[in-house]
Amino acid sequence: MKTQMEQNGIVILTDEATKMVSESTLWNDDLRPTTLKEHSWKGINFATLWIGMCLCIPSYTMASGMIALGMNWWQAVGTIFLGNVIVLIPILLNSHAGTKFGIPYPVFARLWFGDKGAHIPTLARAIVAAGWFGINTWIGTGAIDTLLVASFPSWTNLPGHTAIVFVLFWALNIGIAYKGPEAIKKLSSIAAPIVGISSVILLIWALTHAGGWGPIFETPSQFKTTGEFLKVFFPSLTGVIGFWATLALNIPDFCRYAQSQKSQIVAQSLSLPITMTVFSFIGIAVTSATVVIFGQAIWDPVQLLAKFPPFVILLGTIVIVISSLTINVGANVVAPARAIENLYPKRITFGIGAIITGLFAILLQPWYIMSNFGNYIFGWLGTYAALLGPIDGIAIADYWLVRRKQLDLKELYEPNGRYSYVNGFNKNGIYALIIGVAIPILGLLIPSLRFLWDNAWTFGLFISIGVYTYLMRKDKSVLKAGEYEQITIVETPPHHVKSLETHL
């Protein structure tokens, strides 16, 4: 029986197959495959999405914080660029699956962990996203609180004034997120130009007050030997990779709406590394300038904002709030809300998932994570990169090496289907994850193996790829030769038909 149809490289369920699984406990309107009509995102939509997410305060703090750790400007810029080029690879590899089959991340995870086991990678991703949600909310809170103190000095005397701002700003974030993923396109198109222009203005200020490029570029590296530099470089590189390792996993949540593979590949390949590198350079340049202007490196933009007049603080706060809202809705709510929704698709909605995400973000104490740069890049970014690297590796290995881009879409929504494995769990995925996480952890326990932990994402990714591919080599869930063609109607694109008619 033909259950799916492929057109221009995009696969959808047939009407008959949709009717068969629409009452399944694994199906709801958010988790179902997208229709051809819903594949409406053009390249420009992915470009503005990434620009809007890259032009955020955590990008600024990550880059400029490397100056505080002792790097000079070109060492920091090089680290940022290399890290983003590396993480772009798994992003594009996982984007292909989302675009071709129109499935969100939790459904994609059913392939490699089973319909129940999928909760392991999706909830792991959800915890990280919730942490980022809290970090961005805390950054916005600091900016708003700074504005209020500068404008109304008595505000600082109000007990718990920062907590009050945090609760109100948290509620604003949740309120926007509750409206769902479609708000992302509109929010990104507004935020990208506003934050971009503001960044250029900040760079101009830094140049004029620091006396041009000279003082910025002349700030030397504080490392006396290559060994000293590498001790900071490798964990910093892992932090840069870990920064978007989250999106590398749940990028299908967005690419399931792509018009074509080409549009999303070109747009993402250009917008992510270029935007991150340019914006990071601005953060680095401004932080280097603060050493000249104020005598110390101020890597926190909120602290820098506090040194300006109230009107400038007002404008800066608006920019920071817009930036925080954009990345929170785009990068930090969709994945956990979907993961929570996947726990009980027939009862839990995306909106409820968004609210639970916000509550969990508070429990992760973002004020502690952001209290110093060591907590941020070595603790937060490094730790979750060690967890997400192996999951990224399993996803890539399953789709590209094990299944070779062929799967039975309908079976992803069958509780006892081919992707249920044993009682809903794929033990091979669990084994690969455990091994992929355990080996880098040895670097924490054995000093001579420290390089394993400093490069946890990279080692975890390749280890899990090898282990998972080996364990799945004879798995019954993999389609046999010719089976994909038996269940798939392949439609010839209209323009190809016209071309054939012309030649005939």
Beta-ladder partners of 488: 4
pLDDT at 327: 76
Of the given ranges (260-269, 282-291, 464-473), which has the lowest mean pLDDT?
A: 282-291
Residue 499 pLDDT class (50, 70, 90 cuts): very low
Read off the tokens for 38.
């819903």
- In angstroms, the CA 502 to CA 139 distance is 60
| N-to-C CA span, the chain | 33
Distances (CA, A) of 228 to 71, 209, 223, 276, 364: 11, 32, 6, 26, 32
Buried b / exposed e across 324-343, counting CB within 10 Å, b at 16+? Answer: bbbbbbbbbbbbbbbbbbbb
Name the residue among 247, 122, 254 with its Cα closest to residue 181: 254
Distances (CA, A) of 451 to 230, 238, 444, 448: 10, 11, 9, 8
Count of positions (residues) in the chain? 504
User: In this predicted model, what pLDDT tens digit does every residue of 15-70 receive, in sequence order?
Assistant: 999 999 999 999 998 899 999 999 999 999 899 889 888 887 778 877 777 877 88
User: In this predicted model, what pLDDT tens digit does every residue of 169-210 receive, in sequence order?
Assistant: 999 888 888 876 666 667 777 877 888 899 899 999 988 888
Helix, strand, coil percentages in the chain from 3-state DSSP, rounded to 5:
75, 5, 25
Whether the pLDDT of residue 359 is over 80: the answer is yes
72-77: long-range contacts at Cβ-Cβ below 8 A with a sequence spacing of 24 or more?
72/219, 72/220, 72/221, 73/216, 73/217, 73/219, 73/281, 73/284, 73/285, 73/288, 75/221, 75/229, 75/233, 76/280, 76/284, 77/277, 77/280, 77/281, 77/284
For residue 434, give the amino acid letter: I
Kind and range of the H or E run holding 437 = helix 427-445
- In angstroms, the CA 396 to CA 436 distance is 14
Residue 501 pLDDT class (50, 70, 90 cuts): very low
Residue 418 pLDDT class (50, 70, 90 cuts): very high
Distances (CA, A) of 54 to 77, 223, 273, 329: 15, 29, 9, 13
pLDDT at 257: 94
Buried b / exposed e across 39-51, counting CB within 10 Å, b at 16+? Answer: bebebebbbbbbb
Name the residue among 238, 178, 277 with its Cα closest to residue 381: 238
Q: Given this structure, which CATH class describes domain 4-389? A: mainly alpha
Instruction: Please tell me the pTM assigned to this model.
Output: 0.85
